[in-house]
Amino acid sequence: MRAPGWPVRLVAALACVGLGACDDTAPATPAARADAAVVAASECDGPRPCPDGCPGSVQVCVAGRLGPCQAPEEGCDGVDNDCDGRTDEGAFACETACGAGWGRCAAGQVVACDAPAPAPETCNQQDDDCDGRIDEAPVLPLGGALALPVGETQVEGLVWFGEVVGLVAAGYPNWVVQLSLPGPSVWQVQRFGTVPHPLATAVVRRGLVVAWPDRLGPAGVAVLGEDGAVVRAPGPIPIDGATALAIVPAGEHVAVAWVARGEAGPTLHTALLDPVAGELTHGPYDLGPGQAIDLVGNGEDGFAVLLHTDDGLWLTRLSSLGEPAFAPVRVAGPVDAAAVQGNYYIEELPVVFSRDGVLTLQRYSRLGVPLGDAVALGDLAASAIKLLRVDRTYGLFAVADGVLYAQVLSAGGRLAGPLAPVAWDVGELHAVGGGLDYYLAWWGGAGVRFLGGPLECPEP
């Protein structure tokens, strides 16, 4: 290492030679010592730009001296950062929720990352989607394709017969396909004649009720007994000009909700129907203008109804006789899809709707008073929603872009699991709850598909 002040002493020595007399042991002057300190400090006072002209290239101190030039690391940004004549070369670090990896650069983006990718959650005691939870996704363990009888068919509805699930498929001829459990195996086929499409279905004490609208005349109804015998052959009922129709069980009767064609626009109506006699026992009740109506049973507390109108989504409840219990309350503006369910155990009416790409839950009392704030369940532009209650738990099923999502909601609207995909290539969805299980069916392009069972991750 050079002694401090050596350049000054060397200059002084040379000067003495030229003059012929000099004492080289004399101490340097204070000014000379200060100049020497400045020179020494300037050699390594921190990183400094390199003289090689590469932007970002610096020299740093190494053992008291300025080291070689260090070029910056290459970035994935379309620039030759390290000034080697190449752009965006090499491997670049990347990561997913499941870990880190490496990829290459293309058009300023890191692509072909080899980090582990999240996968749909399955029941395998592993965190497939890397969210820190294991086997939390809802799963319906029973499923597969159904080999329906020969003929052009359209799935019209699922019904619960008490021990087995019935799938109603319309076409020519029409069929009822009953599924044994744990299925899905077809064990009985019943032909019930030719009726129009679409159909509404419900099971009452006398058997399976099938009803249909008729925009040009009276709606119709037919009833099949549990043994497959025809209890009522297809025939008209006193509901005229209906463009859409829904029914739900009400003891030996059914509650009916329909959209009627009118000169000033469509109107919404409800009534109670004796399906065997083909007569209205209560009603009809006029609920005002609207385009669609959803109807579900609420046990001893009557029925819950959603009204779809030009200015939004509305909720009301019907008494056990089919009469509106309170004036409709506005839930939201116009929605893409919605569903309502009743829970007379805790006297609540939960509503789930899709609006502006967000799936939202809002709970109401049996009198239509909001219970707490609305809860956003996730970003999902759903085209169809089914909300089922099994005991005191809700099963939420929503279809968006052909993907079926499911979520478990406990009583009181608490989220008991994430909104997760459970099936793909899903068409028009039909769903029913039975026992402690959920059952779904749809036409999937290659035939009828069926899922069933508890909405949970079963034990491995």
Give per-residue pLDDT as tens, 184-199.
Answer: 566 566 666 667 778 8
CB-CB neighbours of 313 under 10 Å: 25
pLDDT tens string 249-266: 998 999 999 999 887 889
Architecture (CATH level 2) of domain 144-453: 7 Propeller (2.130)
Give the per-residue pLDDT at 298.
86
CB-CB neighbours of 95 under 10 Å: 14
pLDDT band at 50 (very low <50, low <70, confident <90, very high): confident
Any idea of the CA torsion for 95, 99, 102, 104, to the nearest 10 degrees? -40
Tell me the CA end-to-end span of the chain in Å, nearest whole number: 72
| CA–CA separation, 105 and 10 (whole Å) | 56
Sign of the CA dihedral 26, 29, 32, 34? Answer: positive
pLDDT tens string 424-452: 889 899 999 988 889 999 887 667 888 88
Q: What is the mean pLDDT of the chain?
A: 81
For the chain, what are the domain ranges?
A: 144-453
pLDDT band at 30 (very low <50, low <70, confident <90, very high): very low
pLDDT band at 182 (very low <50, low <70, confident <90, very high): low
| H or E element, residue 32 | helix 30-42
| CA–CA separation, 211 and 275 (whole Å) | 9
Tokens at 310, concatenated:
């030009």
Is the pLDDT at 7 greater than 80, yes or no?
no
